[in-house]
Structure 1
Amino acid sequence: MTEFTPWMSLVGGMFIGLSAVTLMALHGRIAGLSHILAGAVLPSQSLRGWRIAFLVGAVAAPLALSSVPGVTIPFSSATPLPWLIFGGVLVGIGVQLGSGCTSGHGVCGLARFSTRSVVATLCFMATTAATVFVVRHVFGGF
């Protein structure tokens, strides 16, 4: 079972919101990670520097936090690697079909009152709930 950590979740959510607002204020860009990643790796994209810095920060922040005495971040998963890869592929397909990812629609789109983002986020949440139900109650968990 997953442990609920309300204070860490609150602080993490505040940092996500702060980074989204900062990126919009400084660069006029939406903090959708799928678009940021695509722009960082595709050779035809311009303005790669801020995208690479954003992604490096997303990876470096938890690594830096784990070096603080008394703080542990479990960098492991009980889910087998093939299932994680399969899930990543499904998420990638969903990003293409939904014209954006959960961070772009759920954080930035909802903050801009985008109707398309409301619909996309409701679809994300319904699919998440159905997936958890099927995995835990139909397949007995992994």
Structure 2
Amino acid sequence: MHPFLQAALGGILIGLACWLLLASLGRIAGISGIVAGLLSPQPGERGWRWAFLAGLVGVGGWLMHGMPAAVAPSWGLAGVAGLLVGFGTVLGSGCTSGHGVCGLGRRSLRSLVATVVFMVCGFATVFVARAA
């Protein structure tokens, strides 16, 4: 499958999954919130959270099949990056999926601001990384 079609199909499936989760359970498909809910689950919350994450990983792996592999960073760099993402998620009261996909779809001003900040920081990071 062409990479453009893979990306388009992935985007459609993300949007559909977010809508289905909101329509069926009234939940926002923010990955950080879904994972955080697994760490201190409420009664009846564990099943749908594991199912959503399994679908995310399974379908993502299926769509990525055949795509060129990205350059793998060192484990230390990946660990530091993961901690920074976690810190940013707490600081921003949500992750890119929660704000960028779900929040913008619900016309949240807070999510618009958060998404603009995410994007500007991403652009700046690429600019600095490529300049080095």
TM-score normalised over the length of structure 2 = 0.88
Corresponding residue to 1:104 among 72, 95, 98? 98
1:114-134 deviations in whole A, cap 9, x for unaligned? 000000000000000001111
What is the alpha-carbon distance in structure 1 between the residues aligned to residue 111 and residue 70 of structure 2?
31
Flag structure 2 segments of 5+ consecutive residues without an equivalent: none
Shift of 1:57: 1.5
TM-score normalised over the length of structure 1 = 0.82
Corresponding residue to 2:79 among 85, 102, 107? 85
Shift of 1:76: 5.7
Number of matched residues?
129
Which structure 1 residue ranges, 4+ long, deviate > 3 Å from structure 2?
73-77
Shift of 1:73: 4.6
Paired-residue identity, %: 49
Correspondence for 1:58? 56
Flag structure 1 segments of 5+ consecutive residues without an equivalent: none
**Is the counterpart of residue 7 in structure 1 residue 12 in structure 2?**
no
State whether residues 3 and 67 of structure 2, in contact with CA within 8 Å, keep that contact through their aligned partners in structure 1: no
What is the alpha-carbon distance in structure 2 between the residues aligned to residue 90 and residue 72 of structure 1?
30
- Written as runs of structure 1 = structure 2, the 5 A alignment for 1:122-141 is 122-137=116-131, 139=132
Amino acid of the residue matched to residue 131 of structure 1?
T
What is the alpha-carbon distance in structure 2 between the residues aligned to residue 26 and residue 74 of structure 1?
36
Aligned-residue Cα RMSD (Å) equals 1.9
Shift of 1:6: 2.3
Corresponding residue to 2:17 among 19, 23, 35? 19
What is the alpha-carbon distance in structure 1 between the residues aligned to residue 84 and residue 75 of structure 2?
14
